[in-house]
Amino acid sequence: MNILVFGKTGQVARELQAYAQVTALDRDQANLNDPAGCAAVIASQTPAIVINAAAYTGVDAAESDHVQAELVNSQAPKAIAQACAAFGIPLIHISTDYVFPGGGERPWKPSDATGPLGVYGATKLAGEEAVRAAGGPHVILRTSWVFSAHGRNFVKTMLQLSETRDALNVVSDQIGGPTPAAAIASACIEIADQLRMDPHRSGTYHFAGAPNISWCAFAQEIFARARRDVTVTGIPSSEYQMVAVRPLNSRLDCSTTTKSFGIDRPDWLTGLDRVLEDLGLASQTRPEVT
């Protein structure tokens, strides 16, 4: 199965290349700043499946860079989806929990009303809407708190900070499911195979790691397993100044993904151990978080 991946150096794109035989496109081959060029690549290669694993992910930067975020997160997916629909090619488009307003404590269902808090979430939501409007077979896969041994992510940031600091304040009122990029890659390949056989499974789905946890508790687990002596103190989001507002509730209800594709939520604790091993750090296994 010829799988074309937009993105080559991002976390999920890197894991897709490690997990399966895919054709991953870097910016020289398909630049999301050029939506028409992305569509042309699809037309020239006519793959069996397209996975859009590329995005403008600078949550804070997007607040002052709306035009660029809109181009990459909305206009490029629109062009990609329209090209896929024209050739009947199934598309998997990776999205985010940031499309929701982040209130309450109940996990968000795919059918829940959206309400992004900032530009990043708004542009990702616009990208979702464009994929649906294109009318082709597709799966929009929303995920959250992605981490891996590659790129920029919370796990690597915490480890880097621990090199020079023995105490950190981390927000404790934002709750979500950390998700290993490797698990997302595996899910994408499984979904691609099933979607190709049954396009009627098209729709919006959620995929996030279990169990749900706060950023503060996640940081504590990272340091414990990496054997780093760092004291982590929980603070409210109001005491941690960021340009863009973050959702307090990033919990995702992934039950329809399990029902439709037989894919369960991944255990992020196991994923964290593997990432630490990839980074050359011995993981000290601890009892599972409850």
Tokens 């859009």 locate to 52
Burial of 145 (0-12, 13-18, 19+ CB in 10 A): buried
58: domain CATH number is: 3.40.50.720
284 by DSSP, 3-state: which? coil
pLDDT at res. 286: 52
Residue 285 lies in a domain: no
Q: What is the DSSP string of 103-121?
A: -SSSPBPTTSPP--SSHHH
Digit-coded pLDDT (tens) for 70-125: 999 999 999 999 999 999 999 999 999 999 999 999 999 999 999 999 999 999 99
Report the C-alpha gap between 67 and 249 in whole angstroms.
27
Q: Look at residue 238 and tell me if it is in a domain.
A: no
Residues 6-21: tens digit of each pLDDT: 999 999 999 999 999 9
Domain of 102? 3-152+179-209+250-266
> Are 115 and 265 spatial neighbours (Cβ–Cβ below 8 Å)?
no
What's CA 158's distance to the chain center, in Å?
Answer: 19
Q: Is 270 left (phi over 0), alpha (psi -120 to 50) or beta?
A: alpha
Which structure tokens are listed for 192? 């691609």
Tell me: the pLDDT tens digits for 180-235?
A: 999 999 999 999 999 999 999 999 999 999 999 999 999 999 999 999 999 999 99
* Active-site residue, from 56, 98, 120, 205: 120
240 pLDDT band (50/70/90 cuts)?
Answer: confident
* pLDDT value, residue 282: 65
**Which residues lie closer than 8 Å to 256 by C-beta, 6 or more apart?**
109, 110, 203, 205, 206
pTM value?
0.95
Residue 219 falls inside a structural domain: no
Kindly tell me if the per-residue pLDDT of 290 is higher than 50. Answer: no
Given a cut of 90, whether residue 284 has pLDDT beyond it is no
User: Taking the CB of residue 113, how many other CB atoms lie within 10 A of it?
Assistant: 7
- Are the C-beta atoms of residues 148 and 9 closer than 8 Å to each other? no
**Is 256 inside any structural domain?**
yes
Position 252, amino acid: L
Beta bridge partners of residue 140, listed in sequence order:
93, 204
- The whole-number pLDDT of residue 104 equals 95
**DSSP characters for 62-117?**
GGG-HHHHHIIIIIHHHHHHHHHHHHT--EEEEEEGGGS---SSSPBPTTSPP--S
**Number of folded domains that form the chain:** 1
Neighbours of 204 (CB within 10 A): 19
Domain assignment of residue 288, yes or no? no
State the DSSP code for 130: H
Residue 241: predicted pLDDT: 85
**Which burial class, exposed, middle or buried, applies to 139 when counting CB atoms under 10 A from its CB (0-12, 13-18, 19+)?**
buried
Question: What is the spatial distance between Cα 18 and Cα 16, in angstroms, rounded to a whole number?
Answer: 5
Note if 19 is an active site residue: no
